[in-house]
Structure 1
C-alpha cells in the first residue's frame, strides 16, 4: 500500500482562527426538500445529513444552491460533505458553509473533517462546531496539506468502489438465481417475516445510571446498522443493564433493521457478527432453520426502498415491529438459499479485506489531519 507523503514539518503551533472568522453559513435561500419528496433519479442531487453523499434527487429548479464547491455539515449527524455540483438541501439539519478567508474550499473541508465534536445523540451539534478554531496556514501550505490528505482519501475511495462492485455483484447473482424480489418474477413462495423469524427490539438503558454503560456488551444503534456494522460499536452496556432494563442480548447471525433514523438510515439492514444488544429503533430478526441469513439480508437490501415506503407517520415517518413482522419476502428452498449464500460469503471475504485496508488508510488520514490541524 502506497502511503501519502507525511510531510516532515511539525504540527502547527501558531495563531488559530475561530470558526466565526474562518467560515460563513450560506444556507439561506436554498430550497429544503422533505424526504418523502425525494426522487430516485433526477437532474439535481439532494444533500442531506445522512451517511450517503447524496440522499436523493429532484427535478425542480427553484431554490437550487449554485455557489459550489461548498461544504455541508450535518447538524444532527456531524457528517461533513464536499459538494461540487449545484444541489438542494434536505429538510432538516443541513448547514451549508463557505470559507471566509481563502478560496481553497478543499482545504477548509479537510479542516472541518478533522474537528472532533462530542456526540450529543440527536441533539444539534452546530453550536459545538462554532466553538472550534483552526490553524492559520499560508496558502502554499494549504495546498501541500490538501495534496497529502486528498491522496489518502483517494486511496480510501478506491477501496470503497471495490466494495461497491462486490455488493453489486452479489445483488446481480441474487436476481439471476431468484428473479426480481419486488415483483416476484419467478413466482416463488412468499412469507411474512413473522412466520420465518422471531422479531424483537431492544431498549435504551437510563442514561443517568452510569452503572448501565461502559460494560462488555456491544450496544448497537441505527446509524451503525446503516453503516453495515463494519466498525466497532460506539457504546457498550453492562450485565446489570440487561438484567434491569428491557435490553436483550441478540445472538450472532441476527439481522437488524433500522426502523427509524436520519437520512437514508430507515430501512437499512445488517447482520450481527457477534452477540449484541440494540436500542429500541432496531428490529432484531432471528431466523428459523428454513432461512439463510445472507440470503435474507441481500433480499432486504434489494427491497430497501420498498420497505421504506411502508413507513407510517407525519413529518417523521417510521417503520415499526408490526410493519416488519407483516412484510413479505420470497422464500425459495433452503438448498437454493445456501447456494446463493456460499457465493455471497466468498464476496464478503473480499469485502472484509477491502474494509480492513480502508480502516488502515483512515487511521493514516486521521493521523495526518491531527498533525496539520491539531
Structure 2
C-alpha cells in the first residue's frame, strides 16, 4: 500500500529569518541549505523565534535548493530557516525507514525539475511523493538492514582516512616543513629549477579541442584532480590524433597535475602513459631528472603545502596562479634516497587502501541493490 508523504509525516517549512540579524557568533544557530548534510551551522541569528522552529538532534531535514538532500541533524539545537523543511513521522511510519526511502523520491524530483541557475524543490512536489507503507515491523527490519550496511561503509571510509593520515604523519616525521626547513636544510630549490611547468593554452583549446563522451584519450580537468588522486567518474575524451597535435600538453607517467584556477592547488599524479591529456585550468609539472627527484614525493610535497601555495594566488573574483608563480615555489629538498623511501611507503599504503576501497565499493553496490529491492 502506498500513501502520500503528508499522510505519514508532518512537513514543516522553515521560517524566513531576517538576514540583517545574522551573525557569526551571537544568538541561536540557524540552519541554511549548506548546513543540512554536514549537520551543524556556523551562522547565528539574534532575531526572536518561536520554539516550534527549534531543530533537535536526529530531526530529518531536507534542503530545498540545489541538490535535494535529506539528512539527520547533529547535536546542537538550531533554527529551521527558509528553504529547509523538517519531516516529523506519524505513528504509521518508522523514522529510519522514511530516512532511507526519501533520497530515491527526492532524486526523481531533482532529475525532472527544470532550472536556470539552481533547482528549487516545491511543497507541491513534496506533497505528491508516494511512499510504500508496510507494517512497522517490516519497516524497522528494512531500516535496520540498511543501517548495518551504512555503518560498514562508514567504517571503511574511516579506514581510508586513517591510512591517509598515516602517510601524512610519515611525511612530517621524515621531512618536517620543507617550506621553512625546520628539519631539512640541505638543498633549497625552486620548482622551475627541477621541472618544466606548462599548461594547455586557451587558443589551443579553442582551436583543437572538442570534448567527446567517448574516445581514445581522457582530458584531465580540475574535477579529476582531488587530494592526490585521479578521480575518473566524470571524464571527457578526445581522439588520439588531436592529442598528438598538442605534444606540449600530453601527459606521461610521473607528471604532476595541479589546479591553478578556481580551486587552487588540488594535485594528482599521472599513473599511465598514452592515456591522458591536459585540460584547461590544470598545470603540468614534469620532473627533469627522475633519478634526482621522485614524482610521488613531489606530489605529496605539493599536497601538504597548500597553505604556502595559496600565498601565490591572485586575489581576484576567481583566484588563480600563473605558471611563473608555480615555477617560483621554493622548497628544501631531501636527498633522493629519502624521497624514494617515502614513495615506497606510500606504495605499500596504497595497496592497503586499494583493498579497503574494493570492499567499500562492494558495500555501496550492495546498498544500491537493497534500495532497489525495497523501494523500486
Using the size of structure 1 for normalisation, the TM-score is: 0.69
Residue aligning to 1:4 = none
Helix, strand or coil at the partner of 1:251: coil
Instruction: Work out which of the two has the higher radius of gyration on C-alpha atoms and give 1 or 2.
Output: 2
Residues 353-368 of structure 1: pairs in structure 2 closer than 5 A:
353-368=355-370
Residues 238-317 of structure 1: pairs in structure 2 closer than 5 A:
238-239=238-239, 241-242=242-243, 248-261=249-262, 266-274=264-272, 275-288=275-288, 289=290, 290-317=292-319
Higher helix share: 2
Alignment pair present for 1:98 and 2:86: yes
Inter-partner Cα distance in structure 1 for 2:75 and 2:327? 41
> Shift of residue 219 of structure 1?
2.8
RCO comparison, higher one (Cα < 8 Å, 6+): 1
1:126 to 99, 106, 119: 119
Helix, strand or coil at the partner of 2:356: helix
Alignment pair present for 1:236 and 2:236: yes
* 1:182-221 deviation line (CA, Å, top 9, x unaligned): 4320242332222222223348967xx9774421322333
Residue aligning to 2:144 = 147
> Shift of residue 250 of structure 1?
1.3
CA RMSD of aligned residues (A): 4.8
Inter-partner Cα distance in structure 2 for 1:119 and 1:284? 39
C-alpha spacing 1:336/1:49, structure 2 compared with 1 (3 Å): farther
> Shift of residue 228 of structure 1?
4.9
In structure 1, runs of 5+ residues without a counterpart are: 1-12, 33-37, 39-43
Using the size of structure 2 for normalisation, the TM-score is: 0.69
* 1:74-133 deviation line (CA, Å, top 9, x unaligned): 9667877654144999xxxx964433666977555544544276699x984534899787
Is the 8 Å Cα contact of residues 253 and 271 (structure 2) preserved in structure 1? yes
| Aligned residue-pair number | 339
> Shift of residue 136 of structure 1?
1.0
After TM superposition, the structure 1 stretch with the greater mean CA deviation from structure 2, 343-352 or 319-328, is 319-328
Residue aligning to 2:332 = 330
* 1:268-287 deviation line (CA, Å, top 9, x unaligned): 22222233234323222222
